[in-house]
Structure 1
Amino acid sequence: MLMSASSDFIALCQEQISLLTQGLGASLSVVYLTQELVDSPTGEAQLIPVVVSPETARLKYRDQLAQGTVNKQIKFGQILALPNHRSKLLTAGLVSAPPSQESESTNTAPPNLEDEYIFSGNQIVLPLIYEGVMMGLLVTGREDRAWNEGEESEIQRIAKTIAIACILDQRRAWLQQQLHQQQVLQEQQRDLLDNLLHQFRNPLTAIRTFGKLLFKRLRPTDPNRDVATSIVRETDRLQELLLQFDQVIDLTDADLTPIPLAESQVVVEASVQKEAKPPLLLPGTGENATDCDLTDLLALLLKSAQAIAQERNLELITDLPENLPLTKANLKALREVLSNIIDNALKYTPAGGKIWIQAGQKKANFQGIAISDTGPGIPAEDLEHLGERHYRGVQAQTEIPGTGLGIAIAKQLIEQMQGEIEVFSPAFNSKITSLQHPGTTFIIWLPEVKDW
């Protein structure tokens, strides 16, 4: 477990150190914490000072640490209160410890005894141990006299208080870390559920539309009309269930805001690892890109789109040139991208409007598919937010249902295929747009197959 010290713990240490300074006359006191919790006071432990009194001693320590004259690696039973000098390496029993080979090799220059704190037998070193776990050391000393038995007992009580406070502080940090990880997991699960529900809607809408068209084409005496009626009825029921489910999980921004962790924290470890966010379950995840004929792929999608457009009194215009260059794409992912963009055009274009799907756009080594509509267009302030999850902008104020996920999912999938999506509003296609219906154009760019 990585060690960290909150501002509350630092404040408690400072209060305890003031008892040593004001009550017992200590002229130098240091609280060290280990970089990791140690099960027993044996072996080596990285120790870092978190509270030093007086503060001038901390500044001197930092300067000499930067100059390389202070050991960073300290064994238990050996403590370097300030500069590296054996008169300061004292055990808890007030006996000077012999210098290590490392100490002798790193301390090449003789110390300036007038500028340094020298305590010899007047220094006490106590481990901060609670429930068998070592968390650091308390070092204190004074220049004028040795400690008596009553003062040593008081120092031990102070060390015990700091140790208990430290373990409680670590438990607090652990609980905050667990809370943060739980929040990250919940966010990932919500994103996964949102994606699955959004991907479920498009084929459900297509099935419902096909059922209604089938019902209209059958004669009143045809027994299959009951089958078509049942298809429409069950898809309507599924859509109602989806709507109810959306309302249940429709959390507010406040609900989705993670609880912030304490900012005022002294982290003893040099770095903290970030959680790796797993990829969301999206179409084509884990599959390799293949050579793709855009005309063939669009022909399949346009069957569903044409049926929906007919039901909603929309004119669907297509322009699919033959012998287009092949593109590199993930077929399942690209199908989802095109389905989302076309579905948006069908959804936001009012009855009597037009939708134009054009393949054969060209840019550098990319092939593009342009999808234009005669809808109300997208305000400039919303354009810069397109691709953000759950962002709907002005559309959130309309009665048109939506989750703000279609473009976000499409953008993520296209980026995985090394492509991009461009958005123009008003639409750039003047053949179908007007001042009253400025519309929007989405262009999906995919890399061409080299040497095609």
Structure 2
Amino acid sequence: MQLSDQFLELAQQQLQTLAADTAMARLALYVTDRDQSSTPTLTLVAQWPLDSALPPAITEDPSLRSVAQERRWYPLRHESLLLGVLRAEQRPLPGKPVRHDPRLQICAETLACILGLEQDRRRLHNQLEQQRQQLNLVVHQLRNPLTALRTYAQLLLRRIGPEDQQRSLVESLIQEQDQLDRYLQSLDRIGRGDLRLEADVSAPLLLPPVPVDAPDLTVADLLTPLIQRASATATLQNRPWHGPEQWTAWTQAARPAADAVTAEIVANLLENAFRYSPPGCALGLKLLNHAICVWDAGPSIPEAEQGIIFQQGERGSSSRDRPGSGLGLSLARRLAENRGGSLELHTEPSSLDNNLPAKGNAFLLRLPPTEREQAGPNPKA
């Protein structure tokens, strides 16, 4: 068993402390060494006193297997495994029997617990390393087909004219490939020491994390690829789609890189709208005052479930027979609140805007104004 330096140091401290409080002549800690090709053996990892000669190996000293009043063995058991033993030899006093000291048993149980945690740590470390290697392999294997797809899309873009009706679809393919490249870059940097991310993120991300040195973007920059994707999806599903007719002033102001989580929230809301609203049902995205509304004209979520759907792992009754984890809305609300905004459900969308349906589901994402907007117009401008 591979042991960390921290465990070995802690084990030695335990033996020294125990020896100082009891009449011990020798303490020795052995751990079980399991080799698939041989019988488990006991390996010495700590002893007291430190300056004494090494005790003989258990397998090489038959006297250690015999009964002796001054010597006791305390097994180190964790769950159903024997992880080692603590050997304690006390100094016999003339005319007095050697008595069992309960502190030895407590020490053995403590070391067994720590050793079990050490074993779990090593196993988890190995699992994480295997997963990291597998992740690196998958990322490497994905790069070639994605590069090929981009090449084909660029060749197709050259063959069609600038006025071709299908040009926007091919350009969208290239934009989606760029987004996939960013995902792969984020995956490739997981576990590396040079990954510098936005520090103020206390909730898991739905999409790859945002590096702190990422350029500032506008809300329009963040939403454009999502709106294009939603429009294409609606066309394939033969359902009405209503996107924003124009970008308002606040959507064209540069926002901090960390506000890219806005795209994550909206992407999740759009996915939910397409997945859970009935086939053929109209849906869309509406820009309001410092707010983004993703709506559908399907049956309203029951009042009793309107709070539940924002709880982690919970789903509405109309979506339980469909794929999903029940995490999206919970994460989306946490991300919104972490950035100083909010996410709310309205089952009367027309109350937000007269052009929206009277009944349905409207998820309203409110965004806080930037520091520049809070400061107001520059009087010298």
Q: Normalization by structure 1: what TM-score?
A: 0.42
Mark the structure with the bigger radius of gyration. 1
Report 1 or 2 for greater relative contact order, CA contacts < 8 Å, sequence distance ≥ 6.
1
Q: TM-score, normalised by structure 2?
A: 0.48
